[in-house]
Amino acid sequence: MNQKVTIFNNLTRSKLPFVPIKEGEVLFYSCGPTTYDFLHVGNARAFVVGDLINRIFKALDYKVTFARNFTDVDDKIINRANELKIDPLKHSAVYIAECEKDMDSLGMLQPDHAPKVSETMPEIIRMIEVLMEKNFAYEVDGEVFFHVPMFKDYGKLSKKKLSELEHGKRVEVDKRKKHSSDFVLWKPAKPGEPSWDSPWSKGRPGWHIECSAMIKKILGDTIDIHHGGVDLMFPHHENEIAQSEAANGRTFVNYWCHHEFLNFGSEKMSKSLGNVVTIRQFIEKFSGEVLRQLLSIVHYRTVMVWSDDAITRAINDVERIHKFMINFEKAKKENLKDDSTSEMTGKFKGIIPKMKKNLASDFNVPGAMALFFSMIRQINREFLDEQGKYEGKNKLGKEMVDVVEEVISFTKLSTGLIHDNPELILNKINEAKKNFSVVEVLFSNEEIEKLVTQRTDARNSKNWALADEIRDKLGSAGITIKDNPDGTVGWSYK
Ligand SMILES: [Zn+2]
């Protein structure tokens, strides 16, 4: 039996139980990148969220068919290739290969399908022909437009009304269009541009039609889940719906998932980070593991702020995980006894079901990771010693080791974290830290525990001012204190 999943469906703006088209299976599409240069860190959130959705369904025992496209025919690619005086498709192929290297460094699973526009031309042209036959599209001078007022459901995803859209248009509208919201399906190529034969002109497709045609070709008329950034919701996804539902006469997508913005806005960046622009640069400096952690630890529907603090927190998290991995391996050899079953083993047995419950609730990766971190904290306290001296430490029992290893494998499978060699990661982080001043002003785990205790003492002696001061100090380092109903106090990263 697959775990029941709930998803925030942007079509209805509500969290709904996920009912797949075919029991136990997921047809999943995610809009991919336009490849004309190295990708910016801003693109990485889309990849990581798409990969997480794919992984989570797999970890919950669903059979997933995942497609993510490459836009290899586009104005940006053509312009860049013209500047460099090379063939646009060759130029794009170079950056598709670079993008795939970045995805490997980020610990991504290969999608089942990675279609390219240049390889989907017959299907794109066929879909435009159908739209012409059904009067949803018209041709002017070799250019084909989708006629938006013909599609009655237009705006159902973005909740925009056609009348308001027309009213709001400020830019000069192409006089050849019948309606200001009509959009391009096919356009004639200029001399020297890549072009394909079509019934209308030697040309190339508009942007939106590629996803509709690829989805139909690979996954079918109706799919379970379509994902992309919230910035793609309008007009891109709205136009995808219009094209597909007009052409196929069927519902296009059952669940729409959009991840929120990655905000580079007002946050001041440290000098060392100001230069880090591309995914490749970030990976070279801090590792793919840190970038993945940074992007996973914020829920996909929360706006993420790209800041020194956020990066520092991710570095500390990755350090914590990988030190644990090394010490756990060491302790297994030196601090193992065969038979023991501790109370904790029983408790840890409950972790995977709890992680699954979080992941199944609108892909709550931060919730699942908090459980993993709490396990690390408890094992560090009771069983591990960084110096390798185990006097005074509890002994790891065989059963305990098995349970913890299961949790580690499940975390790897479902989150894609811990995909690189711990020693390599820690070396890289140590190097990066030398040039990264912000790390020094934040707290180690021991310091946090100490401050939390000081705050509890202050509260017990009714020194509220001091208690608040400590809480604020931890708060500014991204740490939240939680006063539990049973009187105990916990903490976590925000
Ligand atoms: Zn798309």
Cis peptide bond prior to 235, omega within 30° of 0: yes
pLDDT in tens, 396-439: 999 999 999 999 999 999 999 998 899 999 999 988 877 665 44
Q: Counting beta carbons within 10 angstroms of the beta carbon of residue 40, is it exposed (0 to 12), middle (13 to 18) or buried (19 or more)?
A: middle
What's the pLDDT at 440? 39
Q: DSSP state, 12?
A: T
Distance 237 CA to ligand 1 centre (A): 6
Structure tokens at 53: 């959705």
Distance 136 CA to ligand 1 centre (A): 20
Distance 238 CA to ligand 1 centre (A): 10
Structure tokens at 63: 């059979």
What's the pLDDT at 271? 40
Three-class SS of residue 218?
helix
* Percent of the chain residues past pLDDT 90, beyond the cut: 67
Cα separation, 318 vs 288, in Å, equals: 11
Q: Do residues 148 and 183 lie in contact, with contact meaning Cβ atoms separated by under 8 Å?
A: yes
Distance 382 CA to ligand 1 centre (A): 49
Q: Torsions phi, psi of 221, nearest 5?
A: -70, -40
pLDDT in tens, 198-233: 999 999 999 999 999 999 999 999 999 999 999 999
What's the pLDDT at 337? 85
pLDDT in tens, 147-206: 999 999 999 999 999 888 876 566 677 889 999 999 999 999 998 889 999 999 999 999
Edge-to-edge strands of the sheet including 223-229?
63-68, 25-30, 223-229, 253-259
Q: Which of 137, 122, 89 shows the shortest CA–CA distance to 196?
A: 122
Cα separation, 207 vs 270, in Å, equals: 37
What's the pLDDT at 478? 64
Distance 139 CA to ligand 1 centre (A): 23
What's the pLDDT at 267? 45
What residues are paired with 145 via a beta bridge? 138, 184
Residue 231 has a CB neighbour count (10 Å cut-off) of: 12
Dmax over Cα atoms in the chain, in whole Å?
84
What's the pLDDT at 297? 93
Domain 18-259 CATH superfamily: HUPs (3.40.50.620)
What's the pLDDT at 272? 43
What's the pLDDT at 260? 94
Distance 31 CA to ligand 1 centre (A): 4
Distance 236 CA to ligand 1 centre (A): 6
Length of the chain: 494
Distance 190 CA to ligand 1 centre (A): 24
Beta strand 25-30 with 14-17: parallel, antiparallel or unpaired? Answer: unpaired
What's the pLDDT at 276? 55
Structure tokens at 225: 């889940």
Domain ranges of the chain: 18-259, 321-439, 443-493
Residue segments in the chain with a per-residue pLDDT below the cut of 70: 167-171, 265-276, 340, 435-445, 476-478, 493-494
Distance 208 CA to ligand 1 centre (A): 6
Distance 93 CA to ligand 1 centre (A): 19
What's the pLDDT at 470? 86
